[in-house]
Amino acid sequence: MSAAEFQSALNPAASESAHIAHLWWIFFWVTLVIFALVAVFLFIAILRNLRRVPDDPERAIIPEPAQATESRATKVVSALVVITVLILFALLIGDFFTGNAIYATPDPKALAIKVTGHQWWWEVQYQDPQPSEIVTTANEIHVPVGKAVKLELQSTDVIHSFWVPNINGKKDLVPGHPTTTWFTARRAGEFRGQCAEYCGEQHAHMRMVFVAEPPDAFSNWLSAQKKPAPEPSSDSQRRGREVFLASQCVMCHTIQGTKARATLGPDLTHIGARKMIAAGELPNTRGYLAGWILNAPALKPGVRMPPNQMSADDLNALLDYLESLK
């Protein structure tokens, strides 16, 4: 299983999420104090009324002079309205400054990653001026700690929303309206992200693995991802590749270095190195991978990947091959 940290906006791992958490705590304490004050005054009012009735039934029935009560009440209510408006205004200013801090001046040297939302998975592409250096992967984002990252977000079908709570706030992916968001990870860790806008049957299972790692570890990962798929090193792996290339897998998937070049589904060039499969839903183990290949719709109803019939020998060979794609 993946060792992802608890998914929480209050456990920030980036400058942006730290600003959001800070604002959240200000709102929390201000509203908590107001709630406590209201509760106390309500309690006092109830107590006073309760006490009046049995002790002195006359007084409970005969009201105080109406005019005096009314003018006092008007003053108190007016004062409270002014205080409420001032508090809301102060919170609004805090909100404004937080927004400003999050959308700070873009860094031209930022690492650019294009993220495309699909029903129901994330396509992740590390941009590079040289087309041969572009890395395409799925449902797993690695970033170096301390470096600004620019996410170029887009959707090809319906509205999705990119959200890794420990890193930054939500950002909608609207078809036809590419957008960007920025963040700088401040500590290493593995976090979970997920789609935050209802996008159909498997919306709740449209997740991703987010890895913030030291710059060295990140560049090792990226250079491994840039390589084409490794050549099979055993007969079984070789047979597995034949099974892959002869089956309907090639209608949707790419494996760099082979003739499989379709882009309907996730790029599988380094599937063996990923922590999870099925858009962050299942651990990347041999058993889950086998189940996914044979009958993905049974695991995620509505998923675009069709069931696949194959012999046990073919399946084992295919698994050997896919697991070797590190």
Which residues contact ligand CUA (rule: CB under 6 A)? 117, 120, 160, 195, 197-199, 203, 206
Residue 163 CB, shortest distance to ligand CUA, in Å, is 10
Nearer to ligand CUA, 203 or 239 (CB): 203
- Point out which residues pair with 141 in neighbouring strands: 210
The C-alpha R_g of the chain, in whole angstroms, comes to 28
Sequential DSSP letters for 154-213: EESSS-EEEE-TTT---EEEBTTB-EEEEEEB-S-EEEEEEE-S--STTGGG-EEEEEEE
Nearer to ligand CUA, 139 or 184 (CB): 139
3-state helix vs strand vs coil in the chain, percent to 5:
45, 20, 35
Nearer to ligand CUA, 199 or 243 (CB): 199
- How far apart CA 206 and CA 216 sit, in angstroms, is 29
- How far apart CA 121 and CA 141 sit, in angstroms, is 12
Nearer to ligand CUA, 95 or 201 (CB): 201
- Point out which residues pair with 190 in neighbouring strands: 211
Residue 182 CB, shortest distance to ligand CUA, in Å, is 21
- The SS3 of residue 248 is helix
Tokens describing residue 92: 């609004």
Residue 169 CB, shortest distance to ligand CUA, in Å, is 16
Residue 165 CB, shortest distance to ligand CUA, in Å, is 15
Residue 199 CB, shortest distance to ligand CUA, in Å, is 3
Sequential DSSP letters for 18-31: HHHHHHHHHHHHHH
Nearer to ligand CUA, 118 or 239 (CB): 118
Residue 195 CB, shortest distance to ligand CUA, in Å, is 3
Nearer to ligand CUA, 150 or 160 (CB): 160
Tokens describing residue 156: 């090809």
